[in-house]
A = this chain, B = another copy of it.
Amino acid sequence: MATATRSVHEVCVAAKAASHLLARAERAVKDASLRDLADRLEASAGEILDANAADVEAGREEGLTEALIDRLTLTEARVAEMAKGVREIAELEDPVGEIAEDWTLPNGLRVQKQRAPLGVVGIVYEARPNVTIDAAALCLKSGNAVVLRGSSAAETSNGVLAALVGASLAQAGLPEASVSLLSGGGREQLGELATQEGLVDLIIPRGGEGLKMALKAVAKVPVMYAAAGNCHVYVHEDADLEMAARIAYNAKVQRPGVCNAAETLLVHESVAAELLPGLLDELRSAGVELVGDERVREHPGAAPVGEATEEDWVTEYHGLKMAVGVVDSLEQAIEHVNRHGTGHSDAIVTASDEAAEEFTDSVDSAAVYVNASTRFTDGYEFGMGAEIGNSTQKLHARGPIGLRELTSTKYVVRGSGQIRE
């Protein structure tokens, strides 16, 4: 692990050189390095927590919000989770060299579309020090060199974690510059990293809208953005209403602060009377503040429901609030979702295959659900083993960004002397 007294450019040059070696590293070597890292994390838990306590103390002195302090704070349990996560990544299939497609042309040429590392991945993130480990492990496993750019608030914690990664790389005989940590350089440093064209192949931001906007303003290298999640649950006229209530409640309440939680409930007019009173009561009992359109507010048994403004329909609340609307048709629901949503995760509850198909074909989102909670959009839940975020872009990766999404492909074409006539 190279920590930077060097310039961002120098760090990226070294990372690029390391990436060429890493691209050819055997799976066993990468996995050995990861398992060694997990052991080191456990053995060094005391040292990690001491460093983290220093960051937290400094953060409190600087007046960080409690939410930020929470994200910054490591505990014994969180360190144990990091180690467990790294061991799980070691168990995953190596995507490098996987043959995605394989065919033979009439002229005898065999064409294979083979997964290959991207090269150098930049990860820019905010307070959470565990991202240092998650990102290093995912990039290493997928054969990419990584340049980590954490927040200055987590500098001491990240430094200790980075040193452990460095020791594990050395132990396995992998290049030191496979994982580099930049720190303390502010927005200027972000701009430098985001303009290393030809050296940095991809940047993934993990943080709030402010970080994403800052990156968007300066980036010249490709960036994979994870947009906000304004997710919807639509209850169709033929839905099993017990199921519908369960799904809507789960999508809103089970963990309201995350991007795959639902913000809007849409209900077909013909089932509103039966569904709404009980479901809205349940949501209120769970502490959910409800706002609704006129038809919801005027519904007998729906009250008390506040007025939903245009702003409400496009807002990711990150908390216990939900906007509720009544629609006349499936088409109207689809139109609402496509107009107001963020293309993250949207669900329909219906008994009809035809309605389900119209919804899944028409809703322009990364994940579209039939009769299930939106909360499943996640690399672990999807069985991809791990993720480094959730893309709502349409190019390259849409949905959870796992190991495969951290690779590119190349065509490998084998012949016996074929030429173009």
Residues in B whose Cβ lies below 8 Å from that of A109: 372, 376
For the complex, give the distance between the alpha carbons of A119 and B394 in Å: 9
Nearest-CB distance from A373 to chain B (Å)? 4
Determine if A287 is an interface residue (Cβ-Cβ < 8 Å). no
- Main secondary structure, interface of A, reads mixed
**Shortest Cβ distance from A375 into chain B, in angstroms?**
4
Asked if A417 lies at the interface with its beta carbon under 8 angstroms from chain B, I say: yes
Whether, in the assembled complex, A371 has its beta carbon less than 8 Å from a beta carbon of chain B, the answer is yes
**Is A24 part of the contact surface with B, judged by Cβ < 8 Å?**
yes
* Contact segment of A53-61, A165-173, A362-370: A362-370
A366 proximity list for chain B (CB < 8 A) = 410-411
Q: State whether the Cβ of A196 lies closer than 8 Å to any Cβ in chain B.
A: no
Q: Which residue of B lies closest to A197 (CB)?
A: B216
Q: Contact at A243–B417, with CB atoms within 8 Å?
A: yes
A250/B416 in contact, CB under 8 A: no
Contact A410 B201 (CB under 8 A): no
Number of interface residues of A (CB under 8 A): 66
Fill in one digit per residue for A105-121: 1 if any B CB lies within 8 Å of its CB, else 0.
Answer: 10001010010101100
Pair A383/B105 contact, Cβ less than 8 Å: yes
Contact assessment for A246 and B419 in the assembled complex, using a CB-CB cutoff below 8 Å = yes
How far apart are A35's CB and chain B's nearest CB, in angstroms? 24
Instruction: State which of B362, B393, B418 has its C-beta within 8 Å of the C-beta of A376.
Output: B418
Contacts A369-B413, A371-B417, A414-B370; is A103 near B394 (CB within 8 Å)? no
- Interface flags, A14-30, vs B, CB<8A=1, else 0: 00000010011000000
Residues on B with beta carbons closer than 8 Å to the beta carbon of A222: 393-395
Chain A, 360-403, contact with B by CB distance < 8 Å: what is the 0/1 string? 11101111111111011100011100000000011110110000
**CB contact list, A111-144 vs B, under 8 A:** 111, 114, 116, 118-119
Does A247 reach chain B (CB closer than 8 Å)?
yes
Which partner residue on chain B sits nearest A361 by CB separation? Answer: B24
A105-B383, A411-B399, A413-B368 are contacts. A418–B373 as well, Cβ < 8 Å?
yes
Q: A398–B410 contact, CB under 8 A? A: yes
Expressed in whole angstroms, the Cα–Cα distance for A145 and B368 within the complex equals 22
Q: Which residues of B contact A420 (CB under 8 A)?
A: 250, 254-255, 373, 375-376, 381
CB-based nearest B residue for A415: B372
Question: Which A positions have Cβ atoms within 8 angstroms of B?
Answer: 20, 23-24, 97, 103, 105, 109, 111, 114, 116, 118-119, 201-202, 222, 224, 240, 243, 246-247, 250-251, 254-255, 338, 356, 358, 360-362, 364-373, 375-377, 381-383, 393-396, 398-399, 408-421
16 additional contacts, CB 8 Å, given A116-B361, A251-B419? A20-B364, A23-B361, A103-B383, A109-B372, A111-B383, A246-B419, A360-B412, A366-B410, A367-B413, A368-B413, A370-B412, A370-B414, A370-B415, A371-B418, A376-B413, A395-B408
Give the 3 A-B residue pairs with the shortest CB-CB distance, closest first.
A372-B415, A250-B419, A394-B408
